[in-house]
Amino acid sequence: MMRLKTKNAIKDTVVSIIAIAIGLIIIFPIIYCVCGAFKTESEFLTPNLLPGSFSYTKNFSDALRKGDLLRYIGNSFIVAFFGTLIRMVLSILAAYAFAYFDFRFKNVLFFLILGTMMIPGDVLLATNYLTISKLHMLNTYFACMVVSFVSASQMFMLRQRFMSVPRDMREAAQIDGYGDLSYLITILIPICRPVITTLFVHSFINLWNAYLWPLIVTASKPAMRTIMVGITKLNSWEDENYQLVLAGVCISLIPSMILFIIMRRNMRKGGMEGSLVG
Amino acid sequence: MKKLLFVICVVLVSAAMLFASGAPEQKKEETKVALGSAPVTITFWHCASDDAGVLMDKYIKEFNETNKYQITVNAIYQGQYSDATTLMKTILSAENYSELPDIMQLDATGKVAFFDSGKAFTIDDAEAYFGQSIRGDYLEGALGNWEYSGSQLGLPFATSTTVTYYNKDLLAKAGWDHCPDTFADIIKLSADMKAAGISAAAYGTVPNSPTLANWIGQLGSYIVNYKNGSEASATKLECIDNGALKTFLTEWKAMYDAGALVNQSLSTNQFIAGEVAVFTNSSANVSNILSKVNGAFEVGAGTYLRVNDSASYGATVSGSCLVMFDSGDSLKKAATWEFIKYMTGEGVQVDFAIGTGYTPAYKSASDNAAYKEFLAATPQFAVAADQLAKTPASMRSITIGPSVDFYYAIQNEVSDMLSKNLAVDDVVKSMGDNLQALLDNYHRTNP
């Protein structure tokens, strides 16, 4: 009995050490980024991880001023928030249809949608740009987010989650007078909230970090640019200002971090439920 | 099943018709309007960020306020050079020409796309259109970098070359009072540093396509045909059969075998931190290096390291140029022509050189009193101009389709030769095969 206990204790310790090590590896770039953002130019040349003082905030004020980051944060927020919102609505509706409705060519359409996941985004750059320009939507927020409205992977994940909810529940709801939309809104979405929350955060971060597409569709209107474009303004080929870039990155992390903190409980639950769904 | 196919076909054809229904662009008759007769706004795309961006804003403001032709320049930052090139290519692919700017800052990565755009208003075109010849006002080497297939694509704006920086204090401790000149000098310097108990590395870098083009150019060769792709799209390697690559690799390996070379691309920050004695980098980096070293040690600058005693001096010109697009509007063209002359003229070139470290490509800038005074105070800035004068006019930077793949393939091959102790002949063969395959593959996919 004692031997088994010792064995388990050793196993737990080893697993914990490995988990901590992996956690540190994952979090280290963020620690490096935060520490670097507080360093002076000369401190950045030393191999020390920690800055001389965490009260040196000149990099942050310079980054905000030189990169016009406040303006761009506003743009990024509009693009990321509304883009994600519309993407979630469309994904939920499509997932619901594929999970519950039977219609002709359902499987063909489903695999066609899944097939789009295999097309690299860069390949679509020119064609998407052509479409947006023909529709006279260049230099608008709509242009920045429209290509992200449909996400095959999110639709697929939601469909899998919806299918794991017993069909009896829908039938019971129908008996109680619920239509499809009211069942979806009042019953299914609350049940699947953890997965939806996780996808929302993931999607928000994706759109927040978008660089090339917003740059291209706002070519004539720099006021519409997003924060990632602002960060490139902080560094130049002639003068490497990594501490300034790191300060810019720290600023850009704030909204995603806030969102993550607000939604982390639901996300954790989502991860656990996903594992059960398999 | 037939019905399904029919429906799919109808949908596809309808969609194709929807997107292809735009009427073909009609070529408008261009009527010449005198500059100054009406206000005109032109769009300028640039890639100047950080301090260079501040200077750029200053020039635009100055031009908008002082020009007597009612010209307003709308300057837009378009990210890094590669991003601006991607944007240009996307617009060209979409044939959405109204989104193109009137003038654009471009580096070597965008040369071919600009030339092939069908909308380029080259310097040859402009000189013929306006009946002016201005090419003689610019340094030949700097102009040559922006020539492609016999056309002068644009005018040099930010001109730089690669030079050698050295830590004078470290070298003095090793008994050196001058900049190393050849790879053999680096070997000797390393031995002297070790003898003096200095632990810093003598030199460290991994060659890539631009730096290899410099060293192969010093040996009188090009990496690829058509003068490193400056006259037409390169199709084959040119440094194998003439032995230039073998000579370079032999000298490079000798440095490593002697313990004088670190097989890593050491950064500017490592040089500034005193971890390496000799450092090769863009001449445009001089302001940055001097300000960051901030007197911690004395920074010396010399001409680019030569492969051996028989190699020529110099390195290829790099940086960026300004190119013009044909808007089909004579007033805009004339305004753009005025603006490009202003931006590449003596005043802006001298100020930009003092502010950044780039070399003015406008000939009379070297006689400018402010610039002369500046060079006297900071002689490190003068090395680039001296080197440009020494560099053979035939030397060209490399312009190829698979530029990114080439860059990393060269780095990996040369680095592996040192780390795996491979024979030079084997590496020459391997590089010959692999780099040629990249070119062939590019031409197969881009006929």
- pLDDT (tens digit per residue) in B247-271: 999 999 999 999 999 998 888 888 9
Minimal Cβ distance to A229: which of B79, B93, B285: B79
Q: What is the pLDDT of residue B148?
A: 86
Would you say residue B371 has pLDDT above 80?
yes
B36: pLDDT confidence band, cut at 50, 70 and 90? confident
Residues of chain A neighbouring B93 (CB-CB closer than 8 A): 126, 129-130
CB of A46 within 8 Å of any CB in chain B?
Answer: yes
Q: For residue B88, what is the nearest residue in chain A, using CA coordinates?
A: A216
**What are φ and ψ of residue B348, in 5° steps?**
-65, -40
- pLDDT at residue B19 in the model: 44
Check A130 against B287: CB less than 8 A apart: no
Tell me how far apart the alpha carbons of residues B293 and B279 are, in angstroms, rounded to a whole number: 14
Q: Pairing mode, if any, of strands B120-121 and B276-282?
A: unpaired
Residue A277: pLDDT above 50? no
Nearest to B114 by CA among B82, B83, B85: B85
Cβ separation of B43 and A239 shorter than 8 Å? no
CATH 3.40.50.300 is held by the domain B41-160+318-384: no
B284 to chain A: which residues are within 8 Å by CB? 237-238
Topology of domain A66-277 in CATH is MetI-like fold (1.10.3720)
What does chain B come to in residues? 447
Contacts A46 to B, Cβ<8 Å: 273
CB atoms A238 and B357 under 8 Å? yes
Alpha carbon distance B124, B101 (integer Å):
19
**C-beta pairs of A247-250 under 8 Å, 24+ apart in sequence:** A247/A37, A247/A59, A247/A60, A247/A62, A247/A63, A248/A63, A248/A67, A248/A69, A249/A33, A249/A37, A250/A33, A250/A34, A250/A37, A250/A60
**Calpha distance B65→A167 (Å, rounded):** 72
What is the pLDDT at residue B101? 94
Of B77, B95, B282, the CB nearest to A233: B77
Assign A272 a pLDDT band (cuts: 50, 70, 90): very low
pLDDT reported for residue A275: 40
Residue A236 near chain B (CB below 8 Å): yes
Average pLDDT over chain A, rounded to whole? 87
Reported as a pLDDT band with limits 50, 70 and 90, residue B23 is very low
- This complex has an ipTM of 0.76
Select the residue of B52, B80, B267 nearest A238 (Cβ to Cβ).
B52
State residue B29's pLDDT score: 60
CA distance B378 to chain A (A): 17
Q: Which of A124, A237, A240 to mutate to test the interface with B (most CBs of B within 10 A)?
A: A237
User: What is the assigned CATH class of domain B162-315+401-445?
Assistant: alpha beta
pLDDT at A270 over 60: no
Closest CA to B339 of B51, B159, B102, B140: B102
Statement: residue A90 has pLDDT above 80: yes
Query: Would you place residue B108 in the very low, low, confident or very high pLDDT band (cuts 50, 70, 90)?
Result: confident
Residue whose C-alpha is closest to residue A174's, from A165, A183, A166 = A183
For chain B, what percent of residues have pLDDT higher than 70? Answer: 93
Q: Which residue of B has its CA nearest to A126?
A: B90
pLDDT value at residue B186: 95
Nearest-Cα residue of chain B relative to residue A43: B273
Tell me: the pLDDT tens digits for B142-177? Answer: 888 888 888 999 999 999 889 999 999 999 999 999
CA nearest to B59, candidates B48, B69, A50: B48
Mean pLDDT value across residues B388-405: 83
Distance from CA of B92 to the nearest CA of A (A): 9
A238 with B83: Cβ contact below 8 A: no
CB contact under 8 A, A234 and B93: no
How far is Cα A31 from Cα A255, in angstroms, rounded to an integer? 17
Predicted confidence band of residue B202 (pLDDT cuts 50, 70, 90):
very high
* pLDDT confidence band for A269 (50 / 70 / 90): low
For residue B61, give both structure tokens: 């403001």
Q: What is the mean pLDDT of residues B7-25?
A: 47
Predicted pLDDT at A2:
62
Domain residue ranges in chain A: 1-56, 66-277
Q: Would you call A235 and B50 a contact, using CB atoms and an 8 Å cutoff?
A: yes
Chain B nearest-CA residue for A216: B87
Note whether B99 contacts A134, CB cutoff 8 Å.
no
B427 CA: distance to closest CA in chain A (Å)? 32
Q: Is the pLDDT of residue A35 over 80?
A: yes
Instruction: Give pLDDT, residue B113.
Output: 86
A182-226 pLDDT, tens digit each: 999 999 999 898 899 999 999 999 999 999 899 999 988 888 899
Please report the pLDDT score of residue B28 as a whole number.
53
> Of residues B73 and A53, which shows the higher confidence score?
B73
* pLDDT higher at B424 or A266: B424
- What is the mean predicted confidence (pLDDT) over B97-107? 92
CB contact under 8 A, A41 and B83: no
Which positions in chain B touch A220 (Cβ < 8 Å)? Answer: 43, 76, 99
Interface test with B, best of A41, A44, A45 (most B CBs within 10 A): A45
The per-residue pLDDT for B307 is 95
Angle in degrees, CA B310, B312, B314, rounded to 5: 145
Which residues have CB under 8 Å from A65's CB, separation 6+?
Answer: none
User: For chain B, where do the domains classified as CATH 3.40.190.10 start and end?
Assistant: 41-160+318-384, 162-315+401-445
- Give the number of beta-carbon pairs within 8 Å between A and B: 101
Q: Identify the three-state secondary structure at position B175.
A: coil
